[in-house]
Chains A and B, each alone.
Chain A
Amino acid sequence: MPKQPEKRISGGRAASFFTKMDVFFLILLFLLGLAITAVIYLPRSFGAESAVRENERLLEVRREGEILMTLPLGEDTTQRVDCAGGYNVFSISEGRAVMEESDCHDGTCMRTGTVSGTGETIVCLPHRLVLKVVQADDEYPDGPDAVAR
């Protein structure tokens, strides 16, 4: 059977489609990848670390998709929000947010309990009210999940 001509044969083995130069080149590519990783991740991780320490988490309040207010989780407060179907009262204390009152028909928002971690939410679906804990420096509130597959 005619074969493709193999131009160079290192070590005299038949299956030598791989040269030392390839290994060298691939290691170079690998190092280039490490460099790219470093360039992308190093400033980010340093920045993020200090941001987490310095900036508090925030509670983002959305009614029907629009941001009503953004409150720091560090300050205790109680807020009343009037919605299309009724009202909600939520409070922040000791860095945790909780839905205190709601005249919605299911009460799921009150049973959710307290939220404090980034990304945690309390949803009052009948009133289309969403309380979400976000990072103060969060550039991408939707997270990496927004990247297409």
Chain B
Amino acid sequence: MRVSTAKMAELSVFTAVAFIFSYIESLIPLPIPFPGIKLGLANLVVVIVLYRQGVAAAFGVSMTRNVLNALTFGSVFGFVYSLAGSVLSLIVMAGMRRQIETKKHPRLTRVSVSAVGGIFHNMGQFVVAACLVGTDAIAHYLPFLYFAGLVAGILIGIMASLCLQRLPAPVMHPSSKS
């Protein structure tokens, strides 16, 4: 895959921002009694990159961010969880975005895409947890994860829309136009 310098620079900056977001978030515990529920600010970056540079770029940023987390302040289990969540939510969001842009459901916006992404992010983590400790033991936790993902996804979607409106258009190298 050929990547222009401008695109690579932009993706590097976004990766750094995502990395910093997850670090900051890991420092601030939420005052709620449910483990693992958070806003997921790093996913804001992933949504933005998904809309600016496409699926492959968003996937790259997301994976790099996950690996960096695991190597620095994360844990092995944390890595497996976030990897499952990131991959699943990205696949679903990319699929939805494509559906919307091919005018099959043209009235839905990024907020809906992000909401579904948030839900599936947590569903991915739930699947990993279910594989580790058994479905029965954590089934009661599923609704919490679902609604937390929904709320976080909506908030991330709104923030991403605001950011996308304000960010300058991505610099396109003449040879990389498609």
Contacts and interface: CB of A to CB of B under 8 A. Distances in A.
B141 A36 contact: no
Nearest to B118: A29
A36 B142 contact: yes
Interface in A56-106: none
Interface string A1-32: 11110111000000101111110011001100
A148 B134 CA distance: 12
B129 A8 contact: no
B121 interface: no
B146 A36 contact: yes
B141 A144 contact: yes
A6 B165 contact: yes
Interface stretch (A37-45, A107-115, A124-132): A37-45
A37 B129 contact: no
A4 B109 CA distance: 13
Given A30-B150, A36-B146, A147 B141 contact: yes
B111 A148 contact: no
Nearest to A30: B150
B135 to A, nearest CB: 11
Contacts of A148: 35-36, 77, 81, 129, 132-133
Given A40-B142, A144-B138, A17 B110 contact: yes
Secondary structure call for the B interface: helix
A26 B77 contact: no
B143 A36 contact: yes
A144 B143 CA distance: 14
Nearest to B138: A147
B23 interface: no
Contact of A41 (B35, B36, B143): B143
A139 B137 CA distance: 8
A37 B143 contact: yes
A34 to B, nearest CB: 8
Interface string A113-149: 0000000000000000000000000011000101111
Interface centre among A4, A18, A21, A33 (most CB of B within 10 A): A4
B107 A8 contact: yes
B27 interface: no
Contacts of A139: 136-137
Interface string B141-178: 11100110010001000100110111111000000000
B116 A29 contact: yes
20 contacts: A1-B166, A2-B169, A4-B164, A4-B167, A8-B107, A17-B110, A17-B158, A18-B111, A18-B161, A22-B109, A26-B154, A29-B116, A40-B140, A40-B142, A139-B136, A140-B137, A147-B129, A147-B137, A148-B36, A149-B35
Instruction: Please list the 3 inter-chain residue pairs (A to B) with the smallest Cβ-Cβ separation, ordered nearest first.
Output: A21-B107, A17-B161, A149-B35
Interface of B: 35-36, 51, 77, 81, 105-112, 115-116, 119, 129, 132-133, 136-143, 146-147, 150, 154, 158, 161-162, 164-169
Given A4-B169, A8-B106, A40-B139, 6 more contacts: A37-B143, A44-B140, A144-B141, A148-B35, A148-B129, A148-B132
